[in-house]
Structure 1
Amino acid sequence: MPIESEDPKQVVLQVGAVLKRLRKEKQLSLDDVAVLSGVSKLTLGNIERGETNPTIGMLWKISKSLAIPLMALFSAESGVNVSRAGKGLRIAGEEKTWVIEPIFHQASDEMEMCRAYLQPNSSYDPEKHHPRTTEIVTVMSGTVTIRVGQESHLLHQYDSIRFCADTTHSYINQSDEVVVLHILLKYGG
């Protein structure tokens, strides 16, 4: 199941409702979003009705096509909030080798944060992000190779990297331990 939480069905319904609202605000049909995102009209309709649990790849494609931050597809929180590792919303890649936990999953036009977990001996190739998006990654535990374009960067615990995320990039874990990352996405520069 790509989206995980204490009540995954509620989160799936919520994402669908938010997607439908945002699509209508932008005066786009399901056909329009399908063309822009590369996600089929049928799948988009199923997401809007809460009948399917979208993968992180689908959510990235949809958010990029609507020119919104990924977390805009989830509800905003207000007041004082605590984000606990391993609790709350979790979004998994198709193979479940990559899992992210949004930190304070409120939408911001400027930035969003998440914890990411890369399983042992696996890799993750995310969708290119929105134009002019900066990604800042800090390794919280483990060792990871982050490939940006044709360059590879080996990072150890507490090392950080910043790069333009609207280009091809990937995460590679060649160890036998889960790698934990803190990721900040800054939109528009």
Structure 2
Amino acid sequence: MLDKAELGKRIKKVRESKHLTLKNIEAAAGISATHISEIERGKTSPTLGALMKISKALGKDPAHFIEEVELNDVSLVTLEDRIVEKLGSAGTMENLTTSIPGGKLQARFIRLSPGKTLDEHPHTHYGNEAALVLSGKILFTVDGEKYETSQGDAVYYNGLEEHSYENISKKDDATMLWVSTERGVS
């Protein structure tokens, strides 16, 4: 976690970039301008509640102010920058997102080899998943139910339901755009 001086500098930097005065933040957050000034100068640390109010007044996720590494609010992953990760014999995966403050989405481009299952055993995790099939035929199994999909079909489900996906073609790759909210493998 950041020290109070760096936290204060980040708050002041955002406030000034938005051309807001201490009085503007006082009115929006319900925290005295004097106290905000002390926070910005590193004289005191905000309580969690105060940080939440200041963050809201500045239009930022609180994570923007407390992450060790200052993250941008926009993530750009160019085609040239994408890293192709091998998924054993099942295929490949490319991350389409990087971290942003308070970010809760992951997006990936997944290519499944013919006849391969990405996860041999159904699994669960916190969060939700959605997939758009870009090419081929993919069999999604969610909570024991099977959903055969092809190009243009989309599926959305709760990650707490056991799930897996398989390319049911024996000769062609299948591709999908996969998006997930916060994950925590369970």
Given the two structures, how large is their TM-score scaled by the length of structure 2? 0.51
Cα shift readout 1:66-120 (whole Å, capped 9, x = no counterpart): xxxxxxxxxx677572432x86212222x23132100032255411111011101
Match of 1:154 in 2: 148
- Once the two structures are superposed, the pairs formed by residues 21-100 of structure 1 within 5 Å of their partners are 81-84=76-79, 88-93=82-87, 95-100=88-93
4+ long deviations beyond 3 Å: 76-80, 126-130
Match of 2:99 in 1: 106
Query: What's the secondary structure of 2:117's corresponding residue?
Result: strand
- The structure 2 residue matched to 1:186, chosen from 171, 181, 186, is 181
Unaligned 5+ residue runs, structure 2? 2-70
- RMSD across aligned positions (CA): 2.9
Question: 1:124 and 1:77 mapped to 2: Cα distance?
Answer: 32
- The structure 2 residue matched to 1:167, chosen from 155, 161, 164, is 161
Residues 1:127 and 1:151: Cα distance change in structure 2 (over 3 Å): closer
Residues 1:109 and 1:123: Cα distance change in structure 2 (over 3 Å): same
- The structure 2 residue matched to 1:128, chosen from 123, 131, 137, is 123
Question: 2:110 and 2:182 mapped to 1: Cα distance?
Answer: 18
Query: What's the secondary structure of 1:100's corresponding residue?
Result: strand
Q: How many residues get paired?
A: 112
Match of 1:117 in 2: 111
Residues 1:110 and 1:181: Cα distance change in structure 2 (over 3 Å): same
Question: 1:80 and 1:110 mapped to 2: Cα distance?
Answer: 13
Question: 2:160 and 2:91 mapped to 1: Cα distance?
Answer: 19
Letter aligned with residue 177 of structure 2: H
Question: 1:103 and 1:119 mapped to 2: Cα distance?
Answer: 20
Residues 1:128 and 1:145: Cα distance change in structure 2 (over 3 Å): same
